Amino acid sequence: MKPLLLPALLLAASPAAAASWSMAPAQSTLSFTGTETGAAFTGSFSSWQAAISYDPAHPQAAKVQITIDLASAKTGDPQRDEALPGSDWFNIAATPKA
């Protein structure tokens, strides 16, 4: 085998690299559900980022990282939305990001 052919064969035999994806938050929704005084409600976060690294040949090595700005939570109920940043809910003073 010629010396130049061996590196080419090794490259051809190596597994495909993982593809990196970034989410498009403007075209996506990150929502949550909760219960307050016995009534279920839904809400969503308007500020978040996500990155995904995935190789179909090695799914066990996949990585997902999502960062959520907890202050961006909205449920459509003004009173609840005012309470969400507080210590009874997301406590953004102590943990602004999830």
Taken in order of first residue, the domains within the chain and their CATH numbers are 5-83 (2.40.128.110)
pLDDT for res 27:
86
What pLDDT was estimated at residue 26? 77
Taking the CB of residue 75, how many other CB atoms lie within 10 A of it?
Answer: 19
Predicted TM-score (pTM) of this structure: 0.71
pLDDT of the chain, 98 residues: tens digit per residue: 344 433 443 344 444 567 887 777 678 899 999 999 999 999 999 999 888 999 999 999 999 999 999 999 999 999 999 999 999 999 999 999 99
Residue 26 to residue 9: CA distance in whole angstroms: 43
Q: How far apart are CA 9 and CA 21, in angstroms?
A: 29
